[in-house]
Amino acid sequence: MKSQKKTIIRTFAYVKRCKLQIFFSIILAAVTVAITLTVPILIGKAIDFIVGKGQVEFDSILKILFSTGILVIASAILQWLMNIINNYITYSIVRDIRAEAFEKIQSMPFSYIDSHSHGDLVSRIISDIDQFADGLLMGFTQFFSGVLTIVGTLGFMLSLDWRITILVVVLTPMSLFIARKIARGTYEYFRIQSEIRGEQTSFVDEYIGEQKTVAAFCHEKECINNFEEINDRYTKASIKAVFFSSLTNPSTRFVNSLIYACVTLFGAVSIINWNLITVGELTCFLSYANQYTKPFNEISGVITELQNALACASRVFELIDSDSVTDKENALELNSVKSEISLRNVYFSYTPGTKLIENFCLEVPAGTRVAIVGPTGCGKTTLINLLMRFYDIDSGEIKIDGTDIRDITRNSLRKNYGMVLQDTWIKTGTVRENIAMGRPDATDEEIIAAAKSTHADRFINRLPQGYDTVISDVNSGLSQGQKQLLCITRVMLHLPPMLILDEATSSIDTRTESIIQSSFAKMMKGRTSFIVAHRLSTIEEADIILVMKDGNIIEQGNHQQLLSKGGFYAKLYYSGLHPSTVR
């Protein structure tokens, strides 16, 4: 319950941003309720003009009916305007929350993203916020009108007969008590339902993305079984949530019907035995009693819907409240880089207690080409992650031109690196936009020149619209090798002072790779470069080759020096095996 209260308080913080719209919504609600409560009085008067056979005042009744018609039309127009304002309030709040959640992902540490299912993150930003919007909209639509209706009808009923009013007021809280009792149980079920929905989204996202692998290993049956298991759990959680929440409305309606019957009985006795009110006034009173209890039904329904909304909102707020990656106060901007890099006594591990990189030391003069080789899991990519500050070191220091990278803003640090990874990423957009990602202001001539230098120009010109062809990472019609060429071209256009090539040619055939080696050589000239490669033939020209194993450098030197030592590197080179097969 503490978590639920915290979520409600947090939601009100967003609601405050729409003070003006809420003010107009309350005014419209008040006018609409006033009109709605005036109509029963007119109807009651019309009934009193029908005294008996041959005693009907038609002129008075027609005037009342005309006035009633005008009021009903006015009420409908005002209700329409109020709904427009309430929709604006709701979706403005949802827009702000969704934007804040997405912005949060941009500033999250990579450790959080790596440790959470991507499908669950998507579910929180899309599905959970949509569920929250539904509950919030229902709340705004019915809450103001409901409260004002209760207050208004109470005043009108007191003006008619205080005895019957007390009877209504005493019995009505029973429906609220029942609704609150049920609502306490439904929140937990909706929370579980929301979590399983996130798990289901994650599962579907994972298997659709890797459908070829699933088919290649004939894993379809196991995939279906796993999905059915999650689906069954989601069904059971949903049924429980819906079942308990559905008890609210009929329970409160039963109480309200009981109140209506009591008012009818007491009013009839008052007319027959004591002549305290007229038949028209009793009709008016019954209408008010019904209108007085109706908001309690609606509010109980809103409470049920809000349990689901709050459960979803808590997951979104949990995402928004997670730790962010921030730069130090007064962090430096990295400009005019000489690109001298120093790593001293660096310790790092992804999980506490699991050793990876220990007491790592390395000095890289400006303009040096550094190749990194070693078995899978030795720390090659981890070293790249540390240089880019995707992860921060546990202890030690990494310096660029004598400045600790933790004292440098992340943006300025990464702008000075050009990075090509084994895993390519193509954003949805034209080929031109993808190449110019690092330099949006690049001219067409510069983009084409970069593409020609990487030989990507050949396949780009064969595309339907050439450089204006719209592509995406999922459905681009490009091979993995062509995507990788685009990523290399992206860096070639940007050409920052430092380069990181992590298996940059892993998806490119040997012939094409040999063709673009000259482009790589031109690109790396005068730039500090880090090259991770399993094809040892691609790193023979490196100034320094680091041979890593278990997070440490076990050999260091150029190609000829390492071969002459006859050590681990020589075994890799002469065996012709993939480095990960050599221990």
Distance of CA 298 to the CA centre of its chain: 30
Question: Looking at this protein, which amino acid is placed at residue 488?
Answer: I
Class of domain 2-320: mainly alpha
Residue scoring higher pLDDT (433 or 179): 433
Q: Of 135-139, 390-394, 416-420, 495-499, which range is least confident?
A: 135-139
Average pLDDT value for the chain: 80
Question: Looking at this protein, which amino acid is placed at residue 315?
Answer: R
* One-character DSSP codes across 286-319: HHHHHHHHHHHHHHHHHHHHHHHHHHHHHHHHHH
Q: Where are the domains of the chain?
A: 2-320, 327-416+536-583
Strand partners for 395: 347
Top-confidence range, 227-231, 261-265, 476-480: 227-231
pLDDT higher than 70, residue 577: no
pLDDT higher than 80, residue 226: yes
Q: What is the pLDDT of residues 351-371, one digit of tens each?
A: 877 778 888 888 889 888 898
User: Taking a C-beta distance cutoff of 8 angstroms, is the pair 264, 284 a contact?
Assistant: no
Q: Looking at the structure, give the CATH architecture of the domain made up of residues 327-416+536-583.
A: 3-Layer(aba) Sandwich (3.40)
Residue 335 to residue 321: CA distance in whole angstroms: 33
pTM: 0.66
C-alpha distances (whole Å) from 18 to each of 22, 84, 132, 199, 581 are: 6, 14, 17, 34, 62
- Residue reference for tokens 């990487």: 454
Residue 104 to residue 106: CA distance in whole angstroms: 5
User: What was the pLDDT predicted at 580?
Assistant: 43
pLDDT higher than 70, residue 73: yes
Question: Looking at this protein, which amino acid is placed at residue 504?
Answer: A
User: How large is the average pLDDT for residues 485-505?
Assistant: 84
3-state SS, 312-336, equals HHHHHHHHHCCCCCCCCCCCECCCC
pLDDT higher than 60, residue 583: no
Q: Dihedrals φ, ψ of 4, to 5°?
A: -65, -45
User: How large is the average pLDDT for residues 522-538?
Assistant: 78
User: How large is the average pLDDT for residues 376-384?
Assistant: 81
User: What was the pLDDT predicted at 209?
Assistant: 67
Q: Dihedrals φ, ψ of 108, to 5°?
A: -70, 150
Burial 263-291 (b: 16+ CB within 10 A, else e): beebbeebeeeeeebeebbbbbbbbbbbb
Q: Which long-range contacts (CB under 8 A, 24 or more apart) does 265-271 make?
A: 266/163, 266/164, 266/167, 267/164, 270/161, 270/163, 270/164
Question: Looking at this protein, which amino acid is placed at residue 135?
Answer: G
Residue 405 to residue 527: CA distance in whole angstroms: 18
Question: Looking at this protein, which amino acid is placed at residue 26?
Answer: I
Structure tokens that stand for 550 in this block: 């278990």
Residue 192 to residue 145: CA distance in whole angstroms: 32
User: What was the pLDDT predicted at 77?
Assistant: 92
Q: Name the residue among 506, 519, 533, 524 with its Cα closest to residue 451.
A: 519
Task: Kindly give the residue spans of alpha helices, DSSP state H, lying in 124-172.
Answer: 129-160, 162-171
User: Taking a C-beta distance cutoff of 8 angstroms, is the pair 420, 500 a contact?
Assistant: yes
pLDDT higher than 60, residue 266: yes
Give helix 510-524 / helix 480-494 axis angle, nearest 10°: 10
Q: In CATH terms, are 2-320 and 327-416+536-583 the same topology?
A: no
At 522, is the secondary structure helix, strand, or coil? helix
